[in-house]
Structure 1
Amino acid sequence: MRTWVRGHPVVAYAVLAYAFSWAWWIPMIVRGEIVRPGVGWPTHLPGLMGPALAAVVVTALADGGPGLRDLWSRWTRWRVGWAWWLLVLGTAALAVLGLVVPLVLGDPVPEVAAFGRYSGIAEIGLLGVTAVALLVNGVGEEAGWRGFAADRLLDRHGLRTTALIVAAVWGGWHLPLFWVNESFRTFGLLAVGWAVGLVAGSIVLTWIYRGSGRSVLLVAAWHTAFNLTSATEGTGDLVAPLTSVLVIVGAIWVLRHEATAPERHGSRTR
């Protein structure tokens, strides 16, 4: 088993990520449970930790103690340059438009508490929701999708190929949430837009991850900032699509930049 995992680490990771996450979500589907914003139970959050757990297990089998120490160093890498952290803050700041635009248009202004109503998390205040989302949604996902899958693929492929491979597997991993998560259940044809946004997000996150010296903490923070501007009741029907459009534009810029730059892979920052 260990020999096979060492020879196919990304495949082993993907299988375990699906297994760990779906082991929580599939029973929820069977029981007919629906996750709603601001409600702490039932919740899909434990399933979001599947990618991080899979990354730890496969790293332990493939690389042992040195690999786990390297993984931890990337999970906690925060010295990445102030410009990257400004990108996170700028993304999070888009949520303020949920207050500004209604004021300008004379529409009802959402209460501040609405910005802390997040699927699967009880109303524990904006700071509390942010902390939980960072740990579970941010680190729980990014420790695996960027911190393991993209990290390994970047050693052999360019950014575009890496991002598209991860996007395909990452998108499939979300499938049970279309039955479990109330917001996913309402997508309908908008699921196509969600898929486009996920691919764009994979490109941007891979670019941030590589450019920051492979910091899982940074991509987890950006992922959390994006979700808080697009997945709370306070941001409503305006900020979420605007944020998604900006991410798609960002992904197009990254791809155009990559097309004019030489392929960069195989240079890990340790």
Structure 2
Amino acid sequence: MATVTPARHRGDLALFWTTTFATTWAFWLVAIVLGGSPTSSPTVIPYVLGGFGPVVGAVAVRIRRRRRGEPVPAHTVKTRLNVWVPVLLVLAVATVVAGAVLADLLGGPAVSLTEGEELVAKVGGPVAFFVSMLIGGPLAEEPGWRGTAYPRLRASMSPLRAGLLMGVVWAVWHLPLFLVSGTVQAGFGLVSWSGLLFTLSVVPMALLTGYAYERGGVLASIAVHLGVNATMALLTAYSPVTQAVVLAVQVVAVGALLAARRGRNGDLPARALPAPVGR
């Protein structure tokens, strides 16, 4: 079996970034040109397919790795159901709820489920809402961002540096959504406080999902991604004040998690994580 060198990791990352962005942005460009709602035909097709760009990138990397007979990255974490999955899911939900409540106390919009209930009814009920929130983001993205790119970044970076870089790349990847009519991002507007806060919020989300990945693999990162997205939608936590407070709460939460981890284990970038598997 071939030895994996830093150059090979960089090559894998270059292939992943290129494939992911090319796939996503090509489909989302079609959605922009078609116009119309991203939940109605024909725009819904390229809109949904574009979200799977990270999975396409992950598949491309895995095909190349297996053809070369290379082992998995040392920092790959086995996807497993352990206590961290529900704990981190609850934590993800709690960051949004706490932010919304604090924003309410600070004079922002009142916490309400009214619009969230209307959204659930509009998409066809709780099951349809859950499935749509699970597919549209967590399942379409996490096998790529965390399951493929993150462990290769961790080969030469600390969790903090890897998470920050992932956050910046992830934020840039979302930019075309500001031009797809009918998306939450288009409703914000790119040049607005809400648009800026959404873009900034991707960074603590990348750190939180990265932490989750190291605790329970892709399953844990999917749980965190789902928890935040679904709670934001249910609480309609999209006002600038609420976004800012949720962002602050998540920064504090992820800072505490990373500090506690560093206090126990140090922050060595090349430290191997448990249970590497074929990813």
TM-score tier after normalising by the smaller chain length: 0.7 to 0.9
Identity %: 20
- Residues 115 and 66 (structure 1), Cα distance of their counterparts in 2 relative to 1, 3 Å cut: farther
Distance across 2 between alignment mates of 1:125 and 1:226: 19
Determine which of 15, 18, 38 is the counterpart of 1:15: 18
Residue of structure 2 in register with 1:89 after alignment: 90
2:265 equivalent to 1:263: no
- Residues 96 and 124 (structure 1), Cα distance of their counterparts in 2 relative to 1, 3 Å cut: farther
Contact 1:60 1:68 in 2 (8 A): no
Residue of structure 2 in register with 1:226 after alignment: 228
Deviation at 1:218, TM superposition (A): 1.4
- Residues 95 and 255 (structure 1), Cα distance of their counterparts in 2 relative to 1, 3 Å cut: closer
2:203 equivalent to 1:199: yes
Contact 2:96 2:231 in 1 (8 A): yes
- Residues 94 and 40 (structure 1), Cα distance of their counterparts in 2 relative to 1, 3 Å cut: farther
- SS of structure 2 residue aligned to 1:262: coil
TM-score, normalization: structure 2? 0.74
2:37 equivalent to 1:62: no
The one-letter code matched in structure 2 to 1:133 is M
TM-score, normalization: structure 1? 0.76
Contact 1:146 1:205 in 2 (8 A): yes
- Residues 184 and 234 (structure 1), Cα distance of their counterparts in 2 relative to 1, 3 Å cut: closer
Deviation at 1:138, TM superposition (A): 0.4
Spell out the pairing of 1:1-270 with structure 2 (5 A cutoff).
8-35=11-38, 39-41=39-41, 42-43=43-44, 44-64=47-67, 77-80=79-82, 82-92=83-93, 110=114, 113-116=117-120, 123-180=123-180, 181-185=182-186, 186-187=188-189, 188-212=192-216, 215-232=217-234, 234-235=236-237, 237=239, 242-257=245-260, 260=263, 261-268=266-273, 269-270=275-276
Contact 1:209 1:216 in 2 (8 A): yes
Distance across 2 between alignment mates of 1:93 and 1:207: 16
Which runs of 5 or more residues in structure 1 are unaligned? none
Which runs of 5 or more residues in structure 2 are unaligned? 1-6
Distance across 1 between alignment mates of 2:260 and 2:111: 40
- Residues 89 and 74 (structure 1), Cα distance of their counterparts in 2 relative to 1, 3 Å cut: same
Distance across 2 between alignment mates of 1:231 and 1:112: 6
- SS of structure 2 residue aligned to 1:155: coil
Deviations 1:106-163 (A, max 9, x none): 997616633527xxxx612222221232234102111111111111111221111111
